[in-house]
Structure 1
């Protein structure tokens, strides 16, 4: 029996078909008349099962699948196209959160479920995303203008243009790697020395991830430190400054679960304690490590508008890249050198890391530096000054 017939009949159709069979109509004719599969009618007539629901029941209800469809459409409008792997991972997490029996192999839907989902929702279509060159110089002025106009159109359609006129409600977040042994650009040695080696205590490639978050009025939001652990050692939480986010992933890099924890348990409470007016806008790159269904639902409920930056343009449109990270990394080298100098060249332990980053941020995350980054980024906007972020308030 085709899948289309299995999903179209209702409980009322089934009831009327069974009543007609009891009154003498053949199973075949009842199936054709009421559009109910013959096998279902025979099983019901013969009492083979008592399930009152019609057809093979999907793992998710219609309303739950509709929520997922709305999520896909919503993210596409904000510049975060949902991939197949993101969809399947989100469905797996949703089933787990609903505490529902998981019939999928290894707990995650496969190609069969994905294709049936697409068949049930023809308003969603698969598209091959355009390959963007890795050369940042390929980002054109027209592409930047179109991005700004798309952002404006979305904010107007949602009647939230006032967000962009208040710097305290506009944020940019991004993560960066902090090397435990940052390379020095220059060193001082005896004149005439041809080759000099700097003895280091840490692996030159060892690094930890830090998520930074700043607002257009120049205020830094609490950052988040991510450690590379499968299980977090008990001592690590005591090494992270109060109010900061703490995450851990097997790779040490950001993933959707860690980012959700940051937004829900660090950023949002900080906004509340700051008496920030909602909704707010959070601009970030469109990497899949940031987005999940759970995060989208949380942000929609709490009034946090996620906006994806134009791909390959963070050196132009992301305030953290434009004005913040460079002085931060320069200061980080000095902080590490000071630590090693005071501790006779000792290795930087992970228990030392967070407080060293805090010292770094306190030295260089200045209000004027952050505001300058936003000013430089919105200078590329073709929109009227009223629409631009008010960074001077």
Structure 2
């Protein structure tokens, strides 16, 4: 018969459902991450069979650098509002001066590196984010879009979001420059305004030769947020990303071709000719057929490559 399994059938089923739900929400889990999660369950829990009540948290491995002294995470909604900022600092115990410098409603979290960790993100969602929804009478279900970073991949977070009627969904990897509102335009103006605010602050005689520190950073950022109306730019960013209102045609997919265009032109290939081949193949597709790919134009595409004295293998 052999020894009993470490995890029960119910616990294994729970893990299986968790993996499937992550994948459906854009979080494909690597085998190594799953193994690490199970290992932490066994090593950290006093009762190793109690994973349904006390799942572990998977922490990200981030290296420390100068910028980790101060990290601010800004979340924004499709209604154009910026949620109370979250600050992550590299402390075991936060200095009183730093705590005092945090504006009202802003959130302070700690980590060894000053980077976001899984436990910090969970605390932010379970406390600050949920409080914001309640205080502003925002009805749930709520869609919470994030990137696919490792600190979002915890069973505790997944379980909490499910029970709290929050859909945690990952934006498509390596495409946030066209699908993430903050990258597309919501905060571009804020970055510029922040630099101007710092320059103005340093130009005051009393602040001459002073640097931005952890204790005055929040004050400067607050001044920027209070002086800049980002409501419309955030709404426009959500619209441009096709998120709200939902519209796939609103996304600028031409941005995806920028790298390919650079590559082909560097090889002496007319990129417009490549696109004409793709368009021709797509136009010849029958209704309800899969979208054409470059492989469908193999012959013509290879002729184009031959003109540039290039050879590639197209399966």
TM-score strictly above 0.5: yes
Helix, strand or coil for the counterpart of 1:241? Answer: coil
Alignment of 1:156-167 (within 5 A): none
How much does 1:92 deviate?
5.4
Whether the 8 Å CA contact 1:86–1:292 is kept in 2: the answer is no
* Paired position in structure 1 for 2:230: 366
Q: Quickly say closer, same or farther: Cα 1:93–1:383, change in 2 above 3 A.
A: farther
Number of the residue aligned with 2:188: 326
**Would the aligned equivalents of 1:255 and 1:289 in 2 still touch at CA under 8 Å?**
yes
The counterpart of 2:218, out of the listed 339, 344, 354, is 354
Displacement of 1:308 in angstroms is 1.0
**Gapped runs of 5+ residues in structure 1?**
7-54, 103-108, 110-178, 180-202, 385-393
Aligned: 1:315 with 2:177: yes
Flag structure 2 segments of 5+ consecutive residues without an equivalent.
Answer: 50-55, 57-64, 251-315
User: Which one has more relative contact order, counting CA pairs under 8 Å at least 6 apart?
Assistant: 1
Give the CA RMSD over aligned residues.
Answer: 2.8
Check the 8 A contact 1:331/1:363 in 2, yes or no: no
Structure with greater helix percent: 2
Shift of 1:70: 1.0
Deviation of the 1:334 alpha carbon: 1.3
Give deviations 1:279-318, integer Å, cap 9, x for gaps.
1001111121322111111101101101111111111111
Q: Separation in 1 of the partners of 2:8 and 2:111? A: 32
2:21 to 74, 84, 97: 74
Deviation at 1:56, TM superposition (A): 2.9
Q: Using the alignment, how far apart are the partners of 2:43 and 2:82 within structure 1?
A: 35
Query: What's the CA shift for 1:90?
Result: 3.5
Larger radius of gyration: 1
Alignment: residue pair count: 232
Residue 91 of structure 2 aligns with which residue?
229
Give a deviation string over 1:230-273, Cα, whole Å, max 9, x none: 44334432221222221222222212111111111111111011
2: CA distance, partners of 1:264 / 1:365: 28
1:80-130 superposed Cα distances (whole Å, 9 cap, x missing partner): 01123433444456568854269xxxxxx9xxxxxxxxxxxxxxxxxxxxx
Q: Give yes or no for the alignment of 1:377 onto 2:241.
A: yes
User: CA 1:96/1:381 → structure 2, altered by over 3 Å: closer, same or farther?
Assistant: farther
The reply to whether residue 294 of structure 1 matches residue 156 of structure 2 is: yes
Runs (4+) off by over 6 Å: none
On the 8 A contact 1:316/1:322 being kept in 2, the answer is yes
2:108 & 2:219 partners in 1: Cα distance?
13
Distance, in Å, in 2 between the alignment partners of 1:375 and 1:285 is 18
- Matches of 1:71 and 1:370, distance apart in 2: 32
Relative to the length of structure 2, the TM-score reads: 0.66
Quickly say closer, same or farther: Cα 1:383–1:347, change in 2 above 3 A. closer
CA 1:233–1:280 in structure 2 vs 1: closer, same or farther (change >3 Å)?
Answer: same
Provide the TM-score with structure 1 as the length reference.
Answer: 0.54
Cα 1:276/1:64, change in 2 over 3 Å = same
Gap change, CA 1:248 and 1:293, over 3 Å in 2: same
Alpha-carbon distance in 2 for matches of 1:207, 1:327: 23
Q: d(CA) in 1 for partners of 2:225 and 2:216?
A: 15
